[in-house]
C-alpha cells in the first residue's frame, strides 16, 4: 500500500526523435570519427610517410555541415566570457597550457590569476621583445602558426594543402572596383587572376598559415600596405586543421572569412582571416562595423565595406608588424598578393613559423 504510482509517457512520445536531433547526433559522431582519422594522419606525417590525398564526397561534406558548428561556436564564445573564480584559474589554464604546449614565458603577463576568463587568456599579449620584426625581408609572417602551403597562383586555383585546391574567385569573391583600389582597368576577357595583377611582369603569390589552439592568437600586418576594402563572407565554421584541409576541397570557400584587400608597393595585396570551429569571432581592430558569426545569414552571401571615403581618400595605412586583428581561438590566415617574378619564399611546407619572421623577399 506504500508503493508510489509510476507515471509513464506513451512509448511513441518517449522515442520520438526530431530530424534536428538525428542530424546533430549523426554529424557529431562523424566529426569525432574524422578527428580520429586526422590523428592517424598526423602520426604518419611525423614518421615521414607521405599520405595520399583522399577527398570527401558531397554527402560527407553535407553531413559535416549538418553539425551546428556556428551555434556551438557562439555557445563556446559565451562560455569563454564567464569569469572564473580566482582559485580555479590556475588549474584550468595549466591544463590548457599542457594540452596545447603554450609558452607562457613569452606572455606579457605570466601570472595565470591575472586572466579573468578563457577569452582573456586566449587573447593574451606577448612581451615586446618576444617577436622581433624582420626588417630585411619585404613580407613577414602575420602570425604564429604552421605553413600549410605557399607559391605562385596558377590557373586561378590556390592550394590549401598539397594536392587540394580552391577557386581564387570563389575565395575572394567578385573583383573590387578599380576606383577603390587605385588600380588600372584590366582588359575585358582576362581571367580573374590576370585582373588582379596590375603591373606587367608581376605574378600572383599565396601563403597559407594555420594557427593551432596553442598559438598566439593575434595577427599583424605582414608588410607596409594600404587596406582599401573589407569583404565579409558568412559561412560554415568547419575545422581548418591540416587533416580537414586535406580532406575537404575548397574548405576555405565554405567557411566564414574576412577578406581585406588593398595595395602595396608592388600592386595588389590581400589578407584573409578564415574562421573555424569555436572561432566564430574574427576581430579587425580598425573595423568597428564588422560582426562575425551572426545567427542568420544567406548562403553564398557577402557584405562589402569600403575604407575609402570623402574624408579618407587613401584607406587604412598599415605598417609592417602593426597590430591588425585577432581570433578567439586559432584558425587560418591566407595571403594573396602581387609581386615581381623574382620574389622568393624562404619557407618549407609544414614548418613552424612565428610572427615577425620572414616569409619572402625580392
Domain ranges of the chain: 139-175+192-361
User: Would you state the pLDDT for residue 79?
Assistant: 83
Contact of 56 with 34, CB cutoff 8 Å: no
| Angle subtended at Cα 25 by Cα 22 and Cα 30, rounded to the nearest 5 degrees | 120
Alpha-carbon distance 216 to 203, whole Å?
A: 31
Alpha-carbon distance 338 to 130, whole Å?
A: 30
Residue 210's SS3 state is strand
Provide the grid cell at 277.
570551429
- DSSP tag of 113: G
User: Would you state the pLDDT for residue 9?
Assistant: 46
Contact of 161 with 170, CB cutoff 8 Å: no
- Sequence-distant (6+) residues with CB within 8 A of 34 are 64, 243, 244, 247
User: Would you state the pLDDT for residue 30?
Assistant: 47
Q: List, by residue number, the catalytic residues.
A: 144, 220, 331
Beta pairing class for 218-220 and 323-327? antiparallel
Contact of 167 with 253, CB cutoff 8 Å: yes
- DSSP tag of 112: G
Provide the grid cell at 353.
613559423
Provide the grid cell at 45.
606525417
Query: According to DSSP H, which parts of the chain are helical?
Result: 11-14, 19-46, 58-65, 69-81, 86-100, 118-122, 168-172, 178-181, 192-196, 242-247, 251-254
Alpha-carbon distance 359 to 336, whole Å?
A: 13
Reading the chain (362 residues) residue by residue, the pLDDT tens digits are 455 544 444 544 444 545 445 444 554 564 565 556 666 666 666 666 655 667 888 888 888 878 887 888 788 778 888 899 999 999 999 998 998 888 999 999 999 999 998 888 888 888 888 899 988 888 999 999 999 899 999 888 888 777 788 889 989 998 876 555 555 555 555 788 888 998 888 999 999 999 988 888 899 999 999 999 999 998 888 888 777 888 888 888 888 899 999 999 999 999 999 988 776 688 999 998 888 887 766 666 889 999 988 777 789 999 999 999 998 777 899 999 999 999 999 888 889 999 999 998 88
Question: In the block, which residue shows the cell 595588389?
Answer: 268
- Sequence-distant (6+) residues with CB within 8 A of 337 are 139, 204, 205, 206, 264, 266, 267, 268, 269, 270
User: Would you state the pLDDT for residue 27?
Assistant: 46
Contact of 154 with 205, CB cutoff 8 Å: no
Beta pairing class for 257-264 and 344-345? unpaired
Alpha-carbon distance 270 to 334, whole Å?
A: 8
Phi, psi (rounded to 5 degrees) for 130: -70, -30
Contact of 93 with 117, CB cutoff 8 Å: no
Phi, psi (rounded to 5 degrees) for 114: -70, -30
Other CB atoms within 10 A of residue 32 CB: 10
pTM value is: 0.80
Identify which of 241, 242, 279, 278 has the alpha carbon closest to the alpha carbon of residue 257.
Answer: 279
| Angle subtended at Cα 81 by Cα 76 and Cα 84, rounded to the nearest 5 degrees | 110
Alpha-carbon distance 340 to 355, whole Å?
A: 24
Instruction: Give the length of the chain.
Output: 362
Phi, psi (rounded to 5 degrees) for 19: -55, -35
Amino acid at each position: 500500500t506504500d508503493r508510489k504510482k509510476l507515471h509513464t509517457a506513451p512509448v511513441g512520445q518517449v522515442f520520438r526523435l526530431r530530424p534536428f536531433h538525428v542530424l546533430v547526433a549523426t554529424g557529431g559522431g562523424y566529426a569525432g570519427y574524422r578527428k580520429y582519422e586526422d590523428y592517424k594522419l598526423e602520426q604518419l606525417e611525423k614518421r615521414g610517410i607521405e599520405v595520399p590525398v583522399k577527398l570527401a564526397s558531397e554527402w560527407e561534406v553535407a553531413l559535416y555541415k549538418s553539425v551546428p558548428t556556428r551555434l556551438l561556436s557562439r555557445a563556446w564564445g559565451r562560455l569563454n566570457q564567464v569569469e572564473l573564480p580566482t582559485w580555479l584559474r590556475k588549474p584550468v589554464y595549466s591544463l590548457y597550457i599542457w594540452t596545447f604546449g603554450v609558452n607562457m614565458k613569452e606572455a606579457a603577463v605570466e601570472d595565470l590569476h591575472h586572466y579573468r576568463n578563457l577569452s582573456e587568456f586566449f587573447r593574451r599579449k606577448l612581451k615586446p621583445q618576444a617577436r622581433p620584426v624582420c626588417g630585411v625581408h619585404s613580407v613577414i609572417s602575420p602570425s604564429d602558426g604552421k605553413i600549410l602551403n605557399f607559391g605562385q597562383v596558377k590557373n586561378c586555383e590556390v592550394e590549401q594543402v598539397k594536392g587540394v585546391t580552391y577557386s581564387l574567385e570563389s575565395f575572394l569573391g567578385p573583383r573590387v572596383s578599380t576606383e577603390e583600389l587605385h588600380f588600372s582597368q584590366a582588359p575585358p576577357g582576362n581571367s580573374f587572376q590576370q585582373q588582379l595583377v596590375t603591373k606587367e611582369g608581376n605574378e600572383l603569390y599565396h601563403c597559407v598559415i594555420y594557427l593551432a589552439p596553442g598559438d598566439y592568437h593575434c595577427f599583424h600586418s605582414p608588410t607596409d600596405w594600404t587596406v582599401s576594402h573589407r569583404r565579409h563572407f558568412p559561412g560554415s565554421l568547419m575545422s581548418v586543421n591540416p587533416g580537414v584541409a586535406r580532406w575537404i576541397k575548397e574548405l576555405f570557400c565554405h567557411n566564414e572569412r574576412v577578406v581585406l584587400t588593398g595595395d602595396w608597393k608592388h600592386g595588389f595585396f590581400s589578407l584573409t582571416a578564415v574562421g573555424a570551429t569555436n572561432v566564430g569571432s574574427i576581430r579587425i581592430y580598425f573595423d568597428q562595423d564588422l560582426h562575425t558569426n551572426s545567427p542568420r545569414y544567406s548562403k553564398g552571401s557577402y557584405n562589402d565595406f569600403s575604407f575609402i571615403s570623402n574624408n579618407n581618400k587613401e584607406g587604412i595605412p598599415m605598417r609592417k608588424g602593426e597590430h591588425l586583428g585577432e581570433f578567439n581561438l586559432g584558425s587560418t590566415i591566407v595571403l594573396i598578393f602581387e609581386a615581381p617574378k623574382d620574389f622568393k619564399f624562404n619557407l618549407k611546407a609544414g614548418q613552424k613559423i612565428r610572427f615577425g619572421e620572414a616569409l619572402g623577399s625580392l
